[in-house]
Structures are given as structure tokens and as C-alpha cells.
């Protein structure tokens, strides 16, 4: 009886083995696949008619152009693995609108240089990306999540051309430096509304050179920051700010806190900061660790 139930569960999971016509949603079970381009899928009725596809990637280590082409003209593609695999390259097709890569271990995104990409949402958290040199080609991108990759150093110039980006999350990358900000040079991301830089290794941020006029949420908790300058005043649309778990220099200067209170900016996670500097002062529960 248990064997029958197990076989039934496997059959339900691997829906690609069933003849499905005009399927809008399809889950493709390839848990035992290794390095191949799946030529048998080229004539698949299911894939030609599917707009949203979820792939359990298993042991596939390369999602190249021929493999992706076999999936048809999708608008939504989700690839995931129960265990973090090592996908060397992932070809991003121009016609996708949403691409979700969950724990695939992908190291590099292959993005065509001259294609008119339609991608609006890219979720590639929990992978092994180390650089973003081709990212600027995704000019229609609106949401980008690169949490928990291996982006140790990054330049804002990587986002040149992403004029439509509203949400950017770089949480948990071990980022030490974000450079590329030059006085007098227009910074990209003018339409950015949400920016998450939490749980990295950042020691400084050149906020005074940012041109993020629409930024409403800035998450900075879990870094190595000692100061947040008065340049925060430049963020005219800011509504929420998180600052916990940093290394604030506790020379009591509450002008920043007063500015937050005047602007009714919400401190996400509260204001009970640890002040590690010798002889540091605390004024009630006010934030005295911000310069």
C-alpha cells in the first residue's frame, strides 16, 4: 500500500509525463537529469502551449540557449532545486517577464547584448553569483532580488540602464564596498523605491552622492557602519529606515534622530542600538549613535 502511495505521489509531481494540451501552468520533473539539452522536449505539445513553467532542476548543470528554447515562449520560468547545485551558466531568454532561480547554485547569467529584453522580475537569491557585468542589458527590469549570493564588491555602474528598477535587494552577500559613485555623475536607479543592503560587511555609504529621489525604504541593519551622515536628508521620499546591529559611533548627536522624527520616518526594528565605543552615552531610548 505504501509503495502504491509513493508511486502516486511521484506521478503527480512529474506532470510533464502526462499528455497535457494547452496547459497554462506546468511543472517539469527532471530530478535525475545530468548535462544534456533535452532534445525530446522540442516537439512537446505541453511546452509549446505553456506560459508558466516550473522546473525541478535536479542535477542539470547548464541551462544553455538550446535547452531554454525547448521550453517555448514562456512569460514565467521558475527553476529550483532542493539542494544548492552548481549551475555554471544560465541563459536568460529575451521574451521572459519573470525569472525565478531558487537554490540552483548559478554562477553566471548569460544575457544577450543586443536583445530587447522584456524581463520585469528577476529573483536569483541563494545562488553563487559573483559579478553582474551583463545585468545592465535588462532594461525593463523592475524587481531584482540577489540575496545570499557571493557579491563581495559591487559598483553602482552595474545598474546603469536599469531606469525602471523599483526594488533592489542585496541582503546577505558579504558586500564590503559599493563604489562607482562620482561627484557630478548621475547615479542610476532614480526610480528605486526599496533598497535592502542588510546583513553585509559595509563600513561606509556615500549617501550624499545618491540620486534616489523616490526611495521610501532603506534597510541597513547587520553591517559594520559607524556613521550615517546628515546626507540622509537627500532622501526626500524616505519613509522607513532600519539601522540595527551596526557599530555606531556613540558621540551623541541627535540631529539625525530629530530629522527622522520631524519627517515621521519609521525606524524599522526599533531604536535600541548597542553602542560599543568606550565611554559612549545613551540618552534614554533615543538614538545617540548616529552622526
What's the CA angle centered on 13, arms 12 and 18, to 5 degrees? 60
Distance separating alpha carbons of residues 253 and 109, to the nearest angstrom: 45
Q: What is the pLDDT of residues 168-177, one digit of tens each?
A: 999 999 999 8
Is the Cβ–Cβ distance between 50 and 23 less than 8 Å? Answer: yes
Is the Cβ–Cβ distance between 120 and 141 less than 8 Å? Answer: yes
pLDDT band at 193 (very low <50, low <70, confident <90, very high): very high
Is the Cβ–Cβ distance between 246 and 223 less than 8 Å? Answer: yes
State the pLDDT at residue 48.
65
Q: Residue 40 has which C-alpha cell? A: 525530446
Backbone angles phi, psi at 172, to 5 degrees: 70, 35
Helix (H) or strand (E) holding 133: none
CB neighbourhood size of 141 (10 A): 25
What's the mean per-residue pLDDT of the chain? 76
State the pLDDT at residue 3.
34
Where does 97-236 show beta strands of DSSP type E? Answer: 98-102, 108-111, 121-123, 143-145, 153-155, 167-169, 177-179, 194-196, 217-219
- pTM for this predicted structure: 0.80
What's the DSSP call for residue 137? G
pLDDT at 192 over 70: yes
Please, which residues have CB within 8 angstroms of residue 8's CB and are 6 or more apart in sequence?
A: none
Q: What is the pLDDT of residues 63-98, one digit of tens each?
A: 888 777 777 678 999 988 766 566 788 999 999 999
Is the Cβ–Cβ distance between 87 and 67 less than 8 Å? Answer: no
State the pLDDT at residue 82.
61
Which of residues 111 and 68 earns the better pLDDT score?
111
Residues 151-163 as b or e (16 or more Cβ within 10 Å = b): beebebbbbbebe
Average pLDDT, integer, range 244-268: 72
Count of alpha carbons within 13 angstroms of residue 58, beta-carbon side: 13
Please, which residues have CB within 8 angstroms of residue 236's CB and are 6 or more apart in sequence?
A: 213
State the pLDDT at residue 9.
37
Residue matched to cell numbers 559612549: 280
Is the Cβ–Cβ distance between 123 and 101 less than 8 Å? Answer: yes
pLDDT at 15 over 50: no
Which has the minimum average pLDDT: 15-24, 167-176, 256-265? 15-24
Distance separating alpha carbons of residues 174 and 26, to the nearest angstrom: 36
Backbone angles phi, psi at 179, to 5 degrees: -115, -160
Average pLDDT, integer, range 111-136: 95
Which of residues 41 and 154 earns the better pLDDT score?
154
State the pLDDT at residue 53.
81
State the pLDDT at residue 139.
96
Residue matched to cell numbers 509525463: 17
Amino acid at each position: 500500500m505504501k509503495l502504491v502511495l509513493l508511486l502516486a505521489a511521484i506521478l503527480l509531481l512529474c506532470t510533464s509525463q502526462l499528455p497535457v494540451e494547452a496547459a497554462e501552468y506546468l511543472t517539469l520533473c527532471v530530478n535525475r537529469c545530468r548535462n544534456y539539452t533535452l532534445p525530446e522536449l522540442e516537439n512537446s505539445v505541453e511546452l509549446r502551449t505553456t506560459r508558466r513553467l516550473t522546473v525541478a532542476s535536479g542535477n542539470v548543470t547548464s541551462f544553455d540557449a538550446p535547452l531554454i528554447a525547448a521550453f517555448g515562449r514562456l512569460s514565467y520560468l521558475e527553476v529550483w532545486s532542493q539542494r544548492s547545485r552548481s549551475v555554471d551558466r544560465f541563459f536568460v531568454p529575451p521574451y521572459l517577464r519573470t525569472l525565478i532561480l531558487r537554490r540552483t547554485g548559478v554562477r553566471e547569467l548569460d544575457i544577450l547584448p543586443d536583445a530587447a529584453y522584456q524581463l520585469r522580475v528577476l529573483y536569483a537569491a541563494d545562488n553563487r553569483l559573483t559579478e553582474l557585468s551583463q545585468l545592465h542589458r535588462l532594461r525593463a527590469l523592475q524587481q531584482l532580488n540577489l540575496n545570499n549570493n557571493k557579491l563581495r564588491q559591487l559598483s553602482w555602474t552595474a545598474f546603469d540602464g536599469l531606469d525602471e528598477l523599483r526594488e533592489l535587494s542585496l541582503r546577505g552577500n558579504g558586500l564590503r564596498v559599493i563604489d562607482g559613485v562620482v561627484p557630478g555623475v548621475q547615479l542610476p536607479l532614480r526610480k528605486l523605491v526599496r533598497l535592502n543592503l542588510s546583513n553585509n560587511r559595509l563600513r561606509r555609504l556615500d549617501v550624499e552622492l545618491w540620486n534616489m529621489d523616490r526611495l521610501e525604504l532603506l534597510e541597513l541593519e547587520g553591517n559594520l557602519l559607524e556613521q550615517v551622515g546628515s546626507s540622509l536628508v537627500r532622501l526626500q521620499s524616505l519613509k522607513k529606515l532600519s539601522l540595527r546591529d551596526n557599530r555606531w559611533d556613540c558621540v551623541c548627536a541627535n540631529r539625525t534622530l530629530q530629522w527622522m522624527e520631524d519627517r515621521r520616518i519609521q525606524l524599522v526594528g526599533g531604536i535600541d542600538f548597542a553602542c560599543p565605543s568606550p565611554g559612549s552615552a545613551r540618552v534614554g531610548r533615543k538614538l545617540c549613535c548616529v552622526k
